[in-house]
Amino acid sequence: MSLKSLKIPNIDFVNRRHLAMIFSAVLLIASIVSLSVQGLKLGIDFTGGTLIELGYSQTADLEEIRGKLNEANYQGTNVQYFGSDTEVLIQFEPQQVSSAKLSSSIIHMLGENIDVRRVEFVGPKVGEELTNDGGLAMLYALIGILIYVAFRFEYRFALGSIAALVHDVIIVLGVFSALQIEFDLTVLAAILAVIGYSLNDTIVVFDRIRENFLSTRKVDPKPIINDALNQTLSRTIMTSLTTLLVLLALFFLGGEVIHSFAGALLIGVVIGTYSSIYVASSMILALGISKADMLPSEKESKEIDARP
Amino acid sequence: MNHYSGWKNALIAFFLLLSALYALPNIYGSDLAIQISSAGDASIGEQDLATVENTLLTNTVDYKSIGLSDNRILIRFESSQSQEQLSTQALLKATLSRNYVVALNLAPSVPQWLSDLGGRAMSLGLDLRGGVHFLLEVDMEAVVAMSIDRYYNELRSLLREDRLYKSIRNEGNSLLVTFKSEESKQQGKSLIKDELLDMQIVEGSESELQLSLEITPAAIKASKSTALKQNITTLRNRVNELGVAEPIIQQQGSERIVVQLPGVQDTARAKEILGAVATIEFRLVDEKNDLQLAVNTGKAPAGSKLYYFKSGRPLLLKTSVIATGENITGASSGIDQNNAPMVNIQLDGPGGRSMLETTKEFINHRMAVVYIENKVETVLEDGEMVKLRTKTQDIINAATIQGTFSNRFQVTGMESARAARNLALLLRAGSLSAPIEIIEERTIGPSLGADNIAKGFLSVLVGFALVLLFMAWRYRVFGLVANVALTLNLVTIVAVLSLIQATLTLPGIAGIVLTVGMAVDANVLIFERIKEELKSTSNIQKAISAGYEKALLTIADANITTLIASIVLFSFGTGAIKGFAVTLSIGIITSMFTAIVVSRALINLIYGGKKVKELAI
């Protein structure tokens, strides 16, 4: 079957935006409630602490490991399988009197013939810095994007795209909080990538909205925005699908270490696609965008049309 | 219309060939190898190569090849020869002098002609090849405290000549001077101003006869940066002693040092060696004063200080030091005639002279060796971060001076052979000028590294295949063109990564996977636009051209914003995030070239200038 015969769809996105707003509001409130009630399950990258991944030649006995750890008086440990039952992940909270030495003594205690696959130790100071730097990175990315979009389009578009981004980030964080999936450095990278992706989507729609405003005499922004959404719809879906395909490959085949990274991106791409259709355009509509606002960049647009 | 000129096509082909050439080194595997490099600044030459070859010949070592390049000797082994690799390393370590670093390595087996052209395989991060990453922090408070100590002595000798001061007190961050009179204070002030350029009077601290002095901010900054540099040098020496191929030792920020040791598995030893701030001091035993009295009162008589053996046995030692670790020019471990571990020590000129004078004067007295170790660690205490500093000073041994000696002698009484080896190594490599603390450690075992490569590679492959199928199904001929562009994009990313030798990590692979998904976006935008154009015009050539033109600006806008996000990621970048940002940024840039220019060239070749009835899109 080929899809080429399909006509440009004509879905009334704009008049359904109130429904979408309710949907978004519910998700946002749920996310914020979850984030403020139980917060994020931060990984040792942010909290500090020690993590040891061990590989056993046969099924590992978690109870035995817990017993040994208790015997040696290690408190605040978390022992679990990691990916398969021959791999064990032990996490230690920042210890009262601890240092990078901890990992050596643990390995020594649990005995020989265990493959030490990974040891991570993050000092409390480093963790605190990462938390701050992570927040700052997110802020800088948003500011940089705001400036670029305001410069290329118009401030209402900039606000619309930022609204969509904040929407996406809060909901992805909300899912991580609600499901208590561990939030580590790679998830932070994924969220920043989501910002990039969602923005990419939004810009494509905005570009079309601007183009349509300039090429028509109509004044009512609603049908113009709706046309733009419909015209870009098949591209939006195609790109989301190809991205989702590779993310699914990464999620299922990439291994435990980037599992939550791929997960965050999967959620983010779905939410980002939705928000570029509903949130960003509803926002510029609410801010009162009109044909007159597009005029400064008319010259530029004409130049494009004039090209062969 | 829709025709690229010959030179334009040639240029595109040239770029693609270049990419293919520089991506090529990655398809060759790597050999087990031993790498011999210089521990100092000396270069490795043909003569060294001959020495090594001779050693291998006389010991009938079986190896694949040996060669000298980039100031290092590489001995390659077949993949089945891991035993030979290990035994040969031990052999060479034992036979070669300490001026060489003998390390295990994996050497890419890129053919000569390719490496002559500058072709190199991508450098793999620690998470893919296994190894240790440490982030070390220099205790800068200790650095400042040490400089205050130094200035205390300088100030005293400066003011002593004219007997200007009554007392000088070290108050941690400042020195409080009490002068004898107003006159001597004025005199002292001008002396300090002229001679002690690194000190300034604390504002508002001046009273009738007193004033406080502090170190100027510039001098503090200078001493911090000196301490950091000295520590980096020492760490480099120690890593050389450990024998690691391609270690990375870098300054990060103003007080941190990153150490990456690819392939090192014995992290316990690496930590012990890197973190130890150890030195030794040689002191005479105070034989006159009453030891028991000092222990009971806890007060040592003037000119002496109370020290302990590790066993807890006390001993009074004289405060004047004969020689310290800084006087040591060489140290090696060995076994004495009683089969006990010991350390052979060589001193420099001043150290040797001082030792000679002392041993002449105090023959039949006892001399003690004190092992001093400074440690610092940050712990959480009631939610507060506290720096714990510990200084251990243990007497290793105290032996009677049997005869005079100067710059060569032995220290016995070592706890174990391992302790002797470690002490010799630390003394050789020099002591750290300030305590350092390991604030982050990441170790990846070789099995996990191999797993990560396999899984990363598989997910790239599967994700890539899925996208290829999907595009071919949706856009037919155009989809195939996009697929060629996508494949070339992957090749170009690998080529750029290899050329700039950016480190490829697992998140980096994830970045490549994501780029694969997003790179087709440009083509999707163009193709959808062409389809739209086809609805309003019957001129197919015009539709293709308009599709490309109109989509261009959108693609640029969308990609530049994503690029902004990934540049922020990069500048924020610690390891994992940086690796992801690098491949994502490179992927975005190369995809603009392949998805727009290369795909256009292909479409032009297929449809350009011909009468086309219908597009397979």
Of B525, B550, B581, the CB nearest to A235: B525
User: Is B386 in CB contact (< 8 Å) with chain A?
Assistant: no
How many angstroms separate the CA atoms of A175 and A168, rounded?
11
Question: B-contacting residues of A 190-229, CB under 8 Å?
Answer: 192-193, 195-197, 199-201, 203-204, 207-208
Rg, Å, chain A Cα set: 25
User: Is A120 in CB contact (< 8 Å) with chain B?
Assistant: yes
Instruction: Say if residues B401 and B285 touch (Cβ distance below 8 Å).
Output: no
Q: Given this model, what pLDDT does residue B580 score?
A: 83
**Contact state of B581 with A189 under an 8 Å Cβ cutoff:** yes
Structural domains of chain B, ranges and CATH numbers in brackets:
6-24+445-607 (1.20.1640.10), 29-109 (3.30.70.260), 141-221 (3.30.70), 276-443 (3.30.1360.200)
Q: Give chain A positions within 8 Å (CB) of B388.
A: 97
Choose the weakest-confidence range: A108-122, B288-302, B332-346. A108-122
CA atoms within 13 A on the CB side of B154: 16
Instruction: Say if residues A267 and A190 touch (Cβ distance below 8 Å).
Output: no
Query: What is the tens place of the pLDDT at every residue in B347-367?
Result: 888 888 888 888 888 888 888
User: Is B455 in CB contact (< 8 Å) with chain A?
Assistant: yes
**Contact state of A204 with B554 under an 8 Å Cβ cutoff:** yes
Residue A95 carries which DSSP code? P
User: Is B451 in CB contact (< 8 Å) with chain A?
Assistant: yes
Residue B216 carries which DSSP code? -
User: Is B20 in CB contact (< 8 Å) with chain A?
Assistant: no
Of the pLDDT bands very low, low, confident and very high (cuts 50, 70, 90), residue B161 is confident
Q: Given this model, what pLDDT does residue B574 score?
A: 65
State which residue of chain A sits closest to B557, comparing Cα positions.
A203
Of the pLDDT bands very low, low, confident and very high (cuts 50, 70, 90), residue B381 is low
Mutate to test the interface with B, among A93, A245, A302 (most CBs of B within 10 A): A245
ipTM score? 0.83
Å between A68 CA and nearest CA of chain B: 21
A to B CB pairs, distance under 8 Å: 252
**Is residue B2 scored above 90 in pLDDT?**
no
Instruction: Say if residues B264 and B270 touch (Cβ distance below 8 Å).
Output: yes
Q: Give chain A positions within 8 Å (CB) of B549.
A: 304, 307-308
User: Is B507 in CB contact (< 8 Å) with chain A?
Assistant: yes
Question: B-contacting residues of A 165-194, CB under 8 Å?
Answer: 185-186, 188-189, 192-193
Of B441, B447, B510, the CB nearest to A121: B441
**Contact state of A126 with B518 under an 8 Å Cβ cutoff:** no
Q: Give chain B positions within 8 Å (CB) of A55.
A: 445, 447-448
Residues recorded for chain B: 617
User: Is B29 in CB contact (< 8 Å) with chain A?
Assistant: no
Q: Given this model, what pLDDT does residue B575 score?
A: 62
HEC-encoded secondary structure of B535-601: HHCCCHHHHHHHHHHHHHHHHHHHHHHHHHHHHHHHHHCCHHHHHHHHHHHHHHHHHHHHHHHHHHH
Å between B87 CA and nearest CA of chain A: 22
**Contact state of A242 with B467 under an 8 Å Cβ cutoff:** yes
Q: Give chain B positions within 8 Å (CB) of A262.
A: 510
Of the pLDDT bands very low, low, confident and very high (cuts 50, 70, 90), residue B598 is very high
**Is residue B19 scored above 90 in pLDDT?**
yes
Most distant CA pair in chain B: distance in Å? 112
**Contact state of A116 with B445 under an 8 Å Cβ cutoff:** yes
Mutate to test the interface with A, among B524, B536, B584 (most CBs of A within 10 A): B524
Which residue's entry shows tokens 């040689």?
A: B282
Q: Given this model, what pLDDT does residue A298 score?
A: 47
Q: Given this model, what pLDDT does residue A2 score?
A: 39
User: Quick one: tokens of B468?
Assistant: 């290829």
Q: Given this model, what pLDDT does residue B473 score?
A: 93
Q: Given this model, what pLDDT does residue A308 score?
A: 45
Summary mean pLDDT of chain B: 84
Q: Give chain B positions within 8 Å (CB) of A142.
A: none
User: Quick one: tokens of A177?
Assistant: 């909080």
User: Quick one: tokens of B206?
Assistant: 């001046």
The pTM score is 0.77
Structural domains of chain A, ranges and CATH numbers in brackets:
14-41+126-306 (1.20.1640.10), 49-122 (3.30.70.100)
User: Is A56 in CB contact (< 8 Å) with chain B?
Assistant: no
Q: Given this model, what pLDDT does residue B12 score?
A: 92
User: Is B141 in CB contact (< 8 Å) with chain A?
Assistant: no
Percent above pLDDT 70 for chain B = 95
Query: What is the tens place of the pLDDT at every residue in B180-192?
Result: 888 888 888 888 8
More confident residue, B257 or B419: B257
Q: In chain A, which residues have pLDDT < 70?
A: 1-8, 95-104, 111-112, 295-308
Q: Give chain B positions within 8 Å (CB) of A227.
A: none
**Contact state of B566 with A196 under an 8 Å Cβ cutoff:** yes
Q: Give chain A positions within 8 Å (CB) of B524.
A: 235, 238-239, 242
Q: Given this model, what pLDDT does residue A95 score?
A: 64
State which residue of chain A sits closest to B569, comparing Cα positions.
A137
Q: How many Cβ atoms from other residues are within 10 Å of residue B587's Cβ?
A: 26
User: Is B383 in CB contact (< 8 Å) with chain A?
Assistant: no
Q: Given this model, what pLDDT does residue A1 score?
A: 34
Of B455, B549, B559, the CB nearest to A253: B455
User: Quick one: tokens of B359?
Assistant: 């041993």
**Contact state of B445 with A55 under an 8 Å Cβ cutoff:** yes
User: Quick one: tokens of B450?
Assistant: 């191999």
Question: A-contacting residues of B 229-288, CB under 8 Å?
Answer: 267-268, 271, 275
Helices B446-500 and A221-253, axial angle in degrees (round to 10): 130
Q: Give chain A positions within 8 Å (CB) of B508.
A: none
Chain mean position to CA B46: 29
**Contact state of B520 with A116 under an 8 Å Cβ cutoff:** no
Instruction: Say if residues A250 and B510 touch (Cβ distance below 8 Å).
Output: yes
**Contact state of B459 with A253 under an 8 Å Cβ cutoff:** yes
Query: What is the tens place of the pLDDT at every residue in B463-472?
Result: 999 999 999 9
